[in-house]
Amino acid sequence: MKKILIVDDQKELLDLMEATLAVEDYKILKATNGKDAINIAMSEQPDIIIMDITMPGKFDGLEATRILKNDSQTSSCQIILLTANAKKNDIKKGFSAGADDYFTKPFSPLELIKKVEDILG
């Protein structure tokens, strides 16, 4: 079973993404900040991480992405940044941090499913 870690500090968005992705046979893991995302990713080895950028705590989504992409345990995990930050400079920062894809809020649940299916094959 493929594992997807969704990371967002807004419970409503976590619930929406979980409900959206639950139509397929995925194991859904959730975190509300970058530190928890790193810990869960290290222990669970998800296939995909859908990560918000702006979150409270020591690590925002960009820093969490950098850490995960620079660790041999998690570097092969596909990271999709899902954020309201849609300016060209924001997108550039996301890819520089190591993101594999960038998706902006508000998002279409159907497009999110398609993006995840495309990555997982």
- All structural domains of the chain, each given as residue ranges with its CATH number in brackets, are 2-120 (3.40.50.2300)
pLDDT at 102 over 90: yes
| Residue closest to 24 by CA, chosen among 8, 43, 4, 7 | 4
Q: Is the pTM of this model over 0.85?
A: yes
pLDDT at 81 over 90: yes
Asked if residue 99 lies in contact with residue 79, where contact means CB atoms within 8 angstroms, the answer is yes
CB-based contacts of 40, cutoff 8 Å, min separation 6: 5, 29, 31, 46
Q: What is the pLDDT of residue 55?
A: 92
Q: What is the pLDDT of residue 14?
A: 93
pLDDT, one tens digit per residue, over 29-75 is: 999 999 999 999 999 999 999 999 999 899 999 999 999 999 999 99
Q: Tell me which H or E stretch contains 109.
A: helix 109-120
- Comparing 106 with 71, the larger pLDDT belongs to 71
Asked if residue 47 lies in contact with residue 79, where contact means CB atoms within 8 angstroms, the answer is no
